[in-house]
Structure 1
Amino acid sequence: MSRTGIATGPNALRGIVMMCLGMACLAINDAFAKYLTDVYSPVQILFLRNLIALPFAVIIAVRLGGWDAMRTRRPGLHLLRGTLWLAAATLFFTGLRYLGLAEATVLIFAAPVIITGISALFLGETVGWRRWSAVLVGLVGVIVVVRPGGDAFQAASLFPLATAFLYAILMISSRWVPAEESLWTTMVFQVLAAGALAGLASLWFWTPVALSDLWLFIGIALAGTLGMTLITEAFRFSEAAVVAPFDYTALIWATLLGYLIWNETPDAMTWLGAAIIIGSGIFIILREARPG
């Protein structure tokens, strides 16, 4: 145990490594999605991704959570969460068509800031002046990246911002998932609900899948499922305050993949905004982890 009251040691290190690897997998997932959006609609990509991922999600859930992981008492809640996840992912994949991978990823980092604001304004949670200050600082970081009204402003940046908002609501909704249902139950039913909804929506946007693209759909399914599994396991091995800040390593992977595949390089203002958003997010995470 460190002086800050946050657990450290082998389990913490294992959790950190899993979190970093999980974020790398999700960055690969996003890179596959960005590549595929040149040909396929986001909802078709998400349908095929979830269709391929569902058997793997079930196997993982049963192996780690037992057959009880396949039962739920709140199917309506999982349907709602699947709808939120599908809407968020569709908006993000749409944004990837027009934005660099790193730039879109930066704006997703606004989610912890949004969660804090929603919790205080609409859920009646007590948020002190320090966290309110972090929220305001985080919003300044978003403005620095988006640059509304400036020559560098891109309307497409609103897509990942909307994604961050929906993701924040999705995370808050997890509080109403029954305590007896495991994370694996949530994962399976989220994949199932989002996949079914995406399948219906993709009927209006369907493009025949080229055989040469099948490996990309398999890759996005495996990378996304593995990423979420590693992140879930990271939180099992260590406290949230230890591993959650390493969520931001996604920017490293996104920047690297964006440069290697599309020769994308974030500009100085994007890096500045990223530093501000990440700093405020880490402060909120650590502040919420403090006892009392």
Structure 2
Amino acid sequence: MNDKTRGYIFALLAVTIFAAQDGFTKFLGDRYPPILVTMFRFWAFAVFVTLLASASSGGVRRVAKTAHPWLQVVRGVLLVSEIVVVVFAFKHAGLAMSQSVFQATPLLVTVLSVPLLGEHVGWRRATAVLVGLVGVLVIINPVGVHFDVFLLLPLGAALLFALYSVATRAVSHKDSAITSTFYAGVVGAIAISVIGPFYWTTIPPADWPALAALCVCGTLSHYCLIRAYGLLTAVEVQPITYLQLVLSAVIAVTFFGEHLSVNMVVGAVTVVGAGLFTVWREHRLAVKRARIAGP
């Protein structure tokens, strides 16, 4: 089995586990405070990244060295905040609806990279972003008689994750992937632990398996995704990640009785299409710049 094949297997495993994680998040988020659910999830994530750092060359001390300490802290806070909003979104807006809107994240990253990273966006990518944002409007149907303000929750989560992604791009020039993952997990766990205990609720033994499954999925999914990105390029991984939308929709309909409306399907297809074009275009431009720069 070559590296590409292994990379695609890890990517598919990551997406599948992420979808299962969404299901367990929805299940627990409907029953317990979203902040509490997020705290348990980040405790497991922090343990995972600490063990990963310990097993790496140089151990935790070497991994913890960063050229952007404050930006790494901001990344951790952004990520844990995004997860909290996602749990609220799953609870109030629905799993399928939330995942449909959340697919706009790559488009928001493109928009934010201009003022925050100084990147240039040509007319092709700008058009794709506009088309994708129209798709988001189709999904949430803001002028419809059934519009719910809770539909803004997944959009807020997408914006937070886009900011996190832009910050990740900014630190990636000097910090390794494992360093960024370490700070995201540890800082996020510390931040949520400050307020999480105020929402403490006793979880009965009947729900312990679901909580354990959420924690396991949260660690395995990130491990598989890290392995996938280590074997494949971003443009090869990104199209596979959109499969999570399909799997989450199946889970939402099968286990939570959610309904897929026509505007959700049409809008989601539009957003995903625009996102795929944006990722492909960024890849083409990166290849072009590499050729101009030469060896």
Aligned with residue 103 of structure 1, among 97, 102, 116:
97
Shift of 1:30: 1.6
* Unaligned stretches of 5+ residues in structure 2: 289-295
Contact 2:8 / 2:237 at 8 angstroms: preserved in 1?
yes
Contact 2:93 / 2:153 at 8 angstroms: preserved in 1?
no
Aligned with residue 119 of structure 1, among 102, 113, 122:
113
Shift of 1:262: 1.1
Aligned with residue 274 of structure 2, among 247, 255, 280:
280
* Alpha-carbon distance between aligned partners in 1 of 2:159 and 2:141, rounded to the nearest angstrom: 18
Change (3 A) 1:179 1:140: closer
Tell me which amino acid in the other structure corresponds to 1:262.
F
Task: Using the TM superposition, name which of 121-130 and 39-48 deviates more.
Answer: 121-130
Change (3 A) 1:215 1:142: same
* Alpha-carbon distance between aligned partners in 2 of 1:65 and 1:167, rounded to the nearest angstrom: 29
Contact 1:47 / 1:196 at 8 angstroms: preserved in 2?
no
Residue matched to 1:5: none
Residue matched to 2:29: 37
Contact 2:117 / 2:170 at 8 angstroms: preserved in 1?
no
Task: Using the TM superposition, name which of 204-213 and 232-241 deviates more.
Answer: 204-213
* Alpha-carbon distance between aligned partners in 1 of 2:71 and 2:115, rounded to the nearest angstrom: 22
* Alpha-carbon distance between aligned partners in 2 of 1:91 and 1:183, rounded to the nearest angstrom: 25
Residue matched to 1:26: 18
Shift of 1:52: 2.6
Shift of 1:141: 0.4
Aligned residue pairs: how many? 284
Q: Deviations over 1:161-185 (max 9, x none)?
A: 0111111110110133264532222
Alignment map for 1:106-255 (pairs within 5 Å): 106-177=100-171, 179=173, 181-255=175-249
* Unaligned stretches of 5+ residues in structure 1: 1-8
CA RMSD of aligned residues (A): 1.9
Tell me which amino acid in the other structure corresponds to 2:186.
L
* Alpha-carbon distance between aligned partners in 2 of 1:213 and 1:78, rounded to the nearest angstrom: 34
Change (3 A) 1:65 1:184: farther
Shift of 1:286: 0.3
TM-score (norm 1): 0.91
Q: Deviations over 1:16-75 (max 9, x none)?
A: 222121111111112111111122211111111122332222223333555132444543
Quote the sequence identity (%).
Answer: 28
